[in-house]
Structure 1
Amino acid sequence: MPTALLDLVLPPRCAGCDAPGSLLCPGCTAGLHGQPVRRMPDPSPSGLPDCWSAAVYAGAARGAILAYKERGRTALARPLAGALALAVAAAAGERPVVLVPVPSARPAGRRRGHDPVDRLAELAAGCLRGAGWPVAVARTLTQRRRLADQAGLSALQRAENLSGAFGVTGGRNGAVARSWGGVGAVVLVDDVVTTGATLAEAARALREAGVTVSLAAVVAATRRRVRKIELSDITEGNGS
């Protein structure tokens, strides 16, 4: 039986701490929504916009995101979108915004039956509109080619995997930029930032279409352990 259906017929358990009684208990909700701040990967790839997140990718945030994306608990979209909306608000200030979701890999979308980031972007926009914020969602990024699974790849391998991966629909001759004339801020949105390679590649595609993008917002940011780059990393990254 699908997990989403089980949540309707059985007493739910918190995705963050496994306590019975709710999809996300008040304590885990508070941890997920946290205090949105600018959290950049270290080191950050060239071209990465200023990245804001609602939480660190650990504890309740990690549990909720994994349950939503990988275990079919789609009802968690609303609290996760609330966290994303807080990160967008912190990043953009009081300006009108266009949210541009990073598209999921096609095989992952087929496996899940939906695009989880697209859904979060739409719900986050609804949250912000409800607070009187002028917000639009632009599904203008597309994948040009099939991507390898990013899990387990080094920063160099992720950058190689994503190089040239995204394009922009209607992006020739600055058409996208003209259609967004007067927009206060274009904000890339995703669920998690790890190395920043995905957001940097998405920003590159938008810039090539004439769109200025200086901000990104995610639900959670991974804590990174910076280590020396070994020769084997360079060899593996170039050969992947």
Structure 2
Amino acid sequence: MEPVARAFAHVANMLFPRGCVGCDRPDAVLCPECHALFNGCLAQTLGTAEMGRWFACGWYRGAVRQAILSWKDHGDEECDRPFSEVLCSLAEQAGLPDHLGNVSREQVLIVPAPSSLASMRQRGRRHMMPLATGLASYLCARTGMHVRACEALENRGTAGRSVETGGTVQRSQRLKGRITTRGKILLKNKAVILVDDIVTSGTTMRRCVDVLSSQGAEVVTVLSLAHTPAGKPTKAGRHFSSEI
């Protein structure tokens, strides 16, 4: 967010106390009830990842959808902290710290899925980086490994929200050749955890994983705030699984 806009937002919050981004309950960034909606551990198959699965905090609907949109598209930076916390909780529930204990790579990178340049200009920031940085700090403290956030990917495509774009084939065509690695970032022999805000069809996620793998990275898993399910999930232990 630009400094002037940030100043206005600060004054507005003083004059008009904010409400929860999910339900507008007064005096809360993310109230306990809405926070609880992000406490799931939704697991879906991802054969190209070391863990064989990717994970989401909750379903992209209702208060979860409202909260993410308020944070993502309306500059609500106060949500960075609670969203970072739910992503760290998801990593713990998914068993990621224990899995990393068996990883022999020289470094672990937390890589945000990239937004288009137009989207970043509109938002005025790289909205996933604070979450990636928070997760990196958590995993570093939790495992003792060298973990850092790294913007290894870029999206050279035009603007367009993945959750509003047509079907899987259309998304795949739109993303073809658009997602690439940035500059001279070296990924060979690095363990990578991809993080995203919303996974819809999984097309963007898989494209990112393919690009990272093509550069020699070992993608451990993918963590997302929310998932838009294509079909009815089936319960499997403490997770919910669906093939996409």
Give the TM-score range, shorter chain: 0.7 to 0.9
1:87 CA drift (Å) = 2.4
- The CA deviation string for residues 20-41 of structure 1, in whole angstroms up to 9 with x for no partner, is 1211111111222x1223135x
Q: Distance in 1 between matches of 2:48 and 2:173?
A: 15
CA contact (8 A) 1:80 1:120 kept: yes
Unmatched 5+ stretches in structure 1: 227-240
Flag the structure with higher helix content: 1
From 193, 218, 232, the equivalent of 1:187 is: 193
- Residue type at the aligned position of 1:109: M
Flag the structure with higher strand content: 2
From 28, 36, 43, the equivalent of 2:41 is: 36
Q: Distance in 2 between matches of 1:101 and 1:9?
A: 35
Tell me which residue corresponds to 2:104: none
TM-score by length of 1: 0.78
Q: 1:88 to 1:156 in 2, by over 3 A?
A: same
Tell me which residue corresponds to 2:213: 207
Q: Distance in 2 between matches of 1:169 and 1:148?
A: 19
Q: For residues 26-65 of structure 1, what are the structure 2 equivalents within 5 Å?
A: 26-32=32-38, 34-39=39-44, 50-65=53-68
From 13, 16, 21, the equivalent of 1:7 is: 13
Tell me which residue corresponds to 2:118: 107
Unmatched 5+ stretches in structure 2: 102-107, 233-244
Q: Distance in 1 between matches of 2:55 and 2:158?
A: 25
Q: Distance in 1 between matches of 2:95 and 2:202?
A: 16
1:91 CA drift (Å) = 5.1
Tell me which residue corresponds to 1:122: 133
- The CA deviation string for residues 93-114 of structure 1, in whole angstroms up to 9 with x for no partner, is 4216421111211001001100
1:131 CA drift (Å) = 4.3
Q: 1:170 to 1:110 in 2, by over 3 A?
A: closer
Percent sequence identity is: 29
Cα RMSD after superposing both structures:
2.6
CA contact (8 A) 2:83 2:131 kept: yes
Q: 1:54 to 1:85 in 2, by over 3 A?
A: same
Q: 1:60 to 1:39 in 2, by over 3 A?
A: farther
From 180, 200, 204, the equivalent of 1:198 is: 204
TM-score by length of 2: 0.76
- The CA deviation string for residues 143-174 of structure 1, in whole angstroms up to 9 with x for no partner, is 3x3234132321111111111222223669xx
CA contact (8 A) 1:191 1:218 kept: yes
Alignment size in residue pairs = 213
- The CA deviation string for residues 161-215 of structure 1, in whole angstroms up to 9 with x for no partner, is 111222223669xx5214x3xxxx4211101110001111111111111112141
- The CA deviation string for residues 27-85 of structure 1, in whole angstroms up to 9 with x for no partner, is 111222x1223135xxx8x8576210111112332121111011121111111111112
Asked if 1:152 is matched to 2:165, the reply is yes
Which is worse superposed, 50-59 or 91-100? 91-100
1:133 CA drift (Å) = 5.3
Asked if 1:67 is matched to 2:70, the reply is yes
1:132 CA drift (Å) = 5.3
